[in-house]
Chains A and B, each alone.
Chain A
Amino acid sequence: DGGITQSPKYLFRKEGQNVTLSCEQNLNHDAMYWYRQDPGQGLRLIYYSQIVNDFQKGDIAEGYSVSREKKESFPLTVTSAQKNPTAFYLCASSSGNGGNQPQHFGDGTRLSIL
């Protein structure tokens, strides 16, 4: 079955460390997204990519970086500049490039600070 795979499910970060969250999709979708979810705040967009080798900042991009070298993959790096990284991170994809297509979600990665 097609879908989105996020790994790892749980991740721990030490002070000053960069960590990378993996997101892979086999839905042949052009667009991919990264969201951060905190309790009571819904989903906030970090970065999104509408096509390979191109991506745009979302609402809370500071302290994060992404790459889109392959259509199937959109890894997110949480850098040491992100001072409050503890959250649930969700990756999504859609067949369209904008707000008129439903997004399909992975099962998320929970990041905590050691």
Chain B
Amino acid sequence: AQSVTQPDIHITVSEGASLELRCNYSYGATPYLFWYVQSPGQGLQLLLKYFSGDTLVQGIKGFEAEFKRSQSSFNLRKPSVHWSDAAEYFCAVGASSSASKIIFGSGTRLSIRP
């Protein structure tokens, strides 16, 4: 079974600074990887996904993520954060089996310092 870990519970960065949110997964085969964002009191919105191919994935809102098989990681990055990026970010992992489910990490809360 797959699992996912987000080591950072809360991160604060200054507006305009770069951002990297960590995600580590455990799965025996090639995983399906996702990053979601959640604003307070709302549902989750898909930022990007990795299924196969190019290991650097571009998403919405200027985010990107890189799949590194050797490190079992799928870290989310943004070159310059905006105050509107303050939210909770969830990494998720799935598998190719039709009986499998998506497993979500516990989330990283991002605060932006003015």
Q: Which residues of A contact B (CB under 8 A)?
A: 4, 6, 35, 40-43, 45, 48, 58, 90, 92, 96-108, 110
Contacts and interface: CB of A to CB of B under 8 A. Distances in A.
A45 B1 CA distance: 15
Interface residues of B, number: 29
B95 A100 contact: yes
B28 interface: no
B99 interface: yes
Contacts of A92: 43-44
Q: Is the interface of B mostly helix, strand, loop or mixed?
A: loop
Interface of B: 2, 9, 32, 34, 36, 41-46, 49, 51, 90, 93-107
Nearest to A3: B43
A90 B9 contact: no
A101 B90 CA distance: 16
A93 B96 CA distance: 17
B96 A98 contact: yes
Contact of B106 (A41, A45, A96): A41
